[in-house]
A and B are shown apart, each in its own frame.
Chain A
């Protein structure tokens, strides 16, 4: 290397080397491998390593792929929307109406359910939403409904409810952090200048909280679109998503190249949407200045 590094840079690079090399070996290499695999093809048990675009052609023309991609997008879109809208008032409440000494207790309470066994939480939603489940039996017991509700399990609705529950803290925390950063005198200034409570909220609080909202949307969207457990347990056939199909291709149908292609396409979709979100965030930040 022609570049001479000073002592500090060398010390920093030596220190960052172990995690960086680990990430190259376990992240960059596998992602490259899956990208290469997506251009191969599988005939029964042998892997054909001639490069081909057939997998991509199949993925883009077969209706099943389009259906699963669109469904995954729709479901995680709904989850993101529901989670963010439901989470905003909570973040607002904790940031503006909870005494500073109690704030970390509230945040702790909100994060606890997130750290408990994911599988069991999802399974319990199956128990709650089921035909003889907690919700149906209590509604019937109260005499509100005569027949058990069937539209709440083994379909996309169930997936949305369960995921909105599982990812709630992911949405609350970034919004909370953004709200905490707002200078309180700004709100007073707005009121002094004649804005009402609603006007102040819409014209000062909400725009300033927007980076947090965008971050929350991104943080919920990315893991939900690739979720496997929830669609498998509560989704039924009409609620299956892209991750379930990737799993089927790899472990069920033993067609790794096709699975790799699907994974690459899913990554592309996630990447494009993430970029849109980041771009939106930039615009919101520019408006602030």
Chain B
């Protein structure tokens, strides 16, 4: 049994190395003083990071992606609040079916979401822009928001709201003063997850973006030019650091939410 456990532990460590291998390589090549992405390393440089500051197309893509990610996060969190609240608090006919239908994008290949939206938008004569990307991203982020917010709303004790009604608060002020603060950690965590998904999503953005590319679409274009690769590595390093920061924040809020509701931590976002 002891031997068995050591094997498992060794395997777990190897597995983590496999999971993290690409991410560890990223900063190595970002600081490597060579245009070819290969070993042996040449020397230390920060010029790829300096080059990032002098690429206006990149800045446009970053701003566009941020705008799309923030809008998506707000929209999908609002839709998620509606669905999670309705699912946790009320019973109504067709509940299972309706919520199941809203969750479908979770199990649909993204390429199908992308082409079907493209066809519909073009048929309606709408021109592609950042807004069409936002619509597509909101569609795929809402199920994630619902999954996160479900646990926040499910652990909410209905007697707290009833107490507020009894004490003379209106429906809206109860929601604002009691419900909202209690589910706030879930809302923030949903916002951050939707933001991260949207910021990273490629295929829907690739199909639905207009004249201004998002960051992943811009990156995709750069991957074709070998000379641009070290800059991509530098950009990737910044993105990874940024994602880890966001995720750590989301995790802290999620744990705080569970602690606030008095629940037990079962781990993970999904």
Contact = CB atoms under 8 A, between A and B. Distances in A.
A193 interface: no
Nearest to B107: A222
A134 B5 contact: no
Nearest to B79: A19
B90 A263 contact: no
Interface string B3-42: 0110011011001101111110110010000001111100
A23 B102 contact: yes
Contact of B112 (A86, A112, A120, A266): A266
Interface string B139-154: 1001000100000000
Contact of A124 (B26, B104, B270): B26
Contact of B269 (A8, A103, A111, A130): A111
A159 interface: no
Interface extent on B, as a size class? 35 or more
B243 A116 contact: yes
A133 interface: yes
A45 interface: no
Contacts of A197: 1, 4
Contact of B92 (A5, A94, A267, A270): A5
A128 interface: yes
B212 interface: no
A12 B101 contact: no
Interface string A111-140: 111011111110111011010111001100
Contact of B25 (A16, A20, A124): A124
Instruction: Determine chain B's interface SS by DSSP, over half rule.
Output: helix
Contacts of A127: 25, 29, 37-38
Interface residues of A, number: 91
A144 B22 CA distance: 22
Nearest to A33: B120
A157 B214 CA distance: 30
A120 B236 contact: yes
B247 A112 contact: yes
B111 A246 contact: yes
Contact of A93 (B9, B107, B135, B203): B9
Contact of A247 (B36, B111, B269): B111
Given A5-B92, A93-B9, A228 B203 contact: yes
A94 to B, nearest CB: 8
Nearest 6 CB-CB pairings of A with B: A226-B109, A12-B90, A12-B92, A30-B116, A124-B22, A104-B267
